[in-house]
Structure 1
Amino acid sequence: MASRILQVLSLFRRDSGPWTVEGIAREMGVSQSSAYRDVQDLSRAGFLDPVTGAGYVLGPAFIEYDRLLRQSDPLIPIASQTMHRLLEDTTQSATAILCRRYRDTVMCVHQEHGAAPHPSTTYERGVAMPLFVGASSKVVLAHLDDRALKRIYLDNETTIRARLKLPDWKAFKAEVREIRKAGFVATVSEVAEGRCGIAAPVLVNKQVIAGISLVFDSAELKDGAPEQFRDAIVAAAQHISEAVAEGGTFVAR
């Protein structure tokens, strides 16, 4: 039953709905009576909400749990202050983004916007991107162990060859290890045209727990910004890493 309940919720990852009981039953290959019981259980718990047309959408329980997640996660309050300082040290015409690995993607868990006009970004909280596209993703990917890296490559070999123009596993591994050695990664127009991203890893006990990045317009490149931005982002990531390692206590720079 628990597994089937999760399957119902997973339908909304593919299509945000509304979903009818009939549609849920058809997609899951179960009877309408079984689907109806699952939907009723989820509705009573607040995870689904009925709408007009006999359909259901995700319910308010997710908002409550998101709030609880923000309150209980020590990384976000630590990172938030550092991200504010990062924008002050670089440019207010940018967005600072904090990402974590989620399955075989990287998901934005927090962002801070600069006070000046800045380019929009598709990387809002809850948005997941492939591990091999964009600075935020690549900096996390580069710090995975070889076993995880090889599995990701094999699962996405065709896409990686097409998008990254890398012929084989050896070339892929060499590229991500170069990122790891450098301690940062910079990309241009990989996620959105005209957008630049520079990212550095947040490491605790030599394990990557997140990536912090700065997203800005490519026009900033004319002013020699990348080197200045790179140093500030690497320093911000190191500061967050140290604060989390010390037990979640924010340490002022």
Structure 2
Amino acid sequence: MSEKSPSSLVRMLMVLDFFTEAKPIWSVEDIARKLEVSIPTCYRYMKMLVESGWLTHQSESCYTFGPRILVMDYYVRQSDPVLCASAPLMQELVAKTGFECVLSAFYGDQVLDSHHEKSNGKTFLSYGRGMPRPLFQGGAPKVILAHLPTRKLRKIYDGHAEELKKSGMPEDWNGFRAYYQGIKKQGFYYSAGELESHLGALSVPIEKQGQPGVWGAMSLVAELSRFEVVDFLKMKEMLEGATRSISYNLV
């Protein structure tokens, strides 16, 4: 039995996934080719997406993201319960430590940063809100993946073989699973120069109360030289205290 083709609505919404940092502008011809639809059909999709504000004209037949994206991002910032519960505590951590604080979460099969509280220092994070993080590098992705149910972790393992191979992580399933079980048991992860050679990140999970999984992860980020002269255990206790408070507020 053949698989059903996507509906017109699904095809139209698929267009939004085509736009990336590497390719922020798409022509009608390229979209039609990728969707495997006719040019007239593609123009109808584009017309609806432009009228609803999701896309805007870059030129006569080329498109990029529209103003509706900005509006929705504003609504998310105002209504995301994890972000609303986390932001005040992140500000406190920054004030007490002088480090930067980053909130990250798992969406589909991507780890994204959803909020960043900056310090007065010069940390220069290259990752920002909404930018997908490498799945197998850095503190936040590792503590988040460590708390995934085994079935979801296996799906990540099976679906990202090339990225896994480049990461230096264990490539066999048993070794891969054991690696994350170790992080979960430890309760935190310290990333030393994994994403950016001059930066360290101490990350802990924001656990869900009374159910498996996590809401996300919170990280304190600073230059490696600063981590070398601070009370690491004290920093970890402060971070864990903040994430416990967030977890309780989200019950």
TM-score (normalised: structure 2)? 0.90
Distance change in 2, residues 1:54/1:154 (3 Å)? closer
Q: SS at 1:223's partner residue?
A: coil
Tell me the amino acid that sits aligned with residue 171 of structure 1.
Answer: G
Cα deviation, residue 162, structure 1: 4.1
Cα distance between partner residues in 1 of 2:145 and 2:162: 17
Cα deviation, residue 15, structure 1: 4.4
Cα distance between partner residues in 2 of 1:168 and 1:152: 13
Cα distance between partner residues in 1 of 2:249 and 2:187: 18
Report whether the alignment pairs 1:228 with 2:234.
yes
Cα distance between partner residues in 1 of 2:216 and 2:181: 17
Could you list the runs of 5+ residues in structure 2 that have no partner in the other structure? 1-7
Cα deviation, residue 78, structure 1: 1.3
Q: Which residue of 2 aligns with 1:191?
A: 195
Cα distance between partner residues in 1 of 2:170 and 2:32: 42
Cα distance between partner residues in 1 of 2:195 and 2:246: 25
Aligned residue among 242, 246, 249 for 1:243: 249
Q: Which residue of 1 aligns with 2:101?
A: 96
Q: Which residue of 2 aligns with 1:83?
A: 90
Q: Compare 7-16 and 25-34 and name the one that shifted more.
A: 7-16
Cα distance between partner residues in 2 of 1:225 and 1:127: 31
Cα deviation, residue 53, structure 1: 5.3
Q: Which residue of 1 aligns with 2:4?
A: none
Q: CA RMSD in A?
A: 1.8
Distance change in 2, residues 1:83/1:154 (3 Å)? same
Q: Which residue of 1 aligns with 2:5?
A: none
TM-score (normalised: structure 1)? 0.89
Aligned residue among 41, 45, 56 for 2:63: 56
Aligned residue among 33, 40, 47 for 1:40: 47
Alignment of 1:110-125 (within 5 A): 110-114=115-119, 116-125=120-129
Q: Retained in 2: the 8 A contact 1:183–1:234?
A: no
Residue correspondences, number: 242
Cα distance between partner residues in 2 of 1:167 and 1:57: 38
Identity of aligned residues (%): 29
Q: Which residue of 2 aligns with 1:250?
A: none
Aligned residue among 157, 165, 174 for 2:178: 174
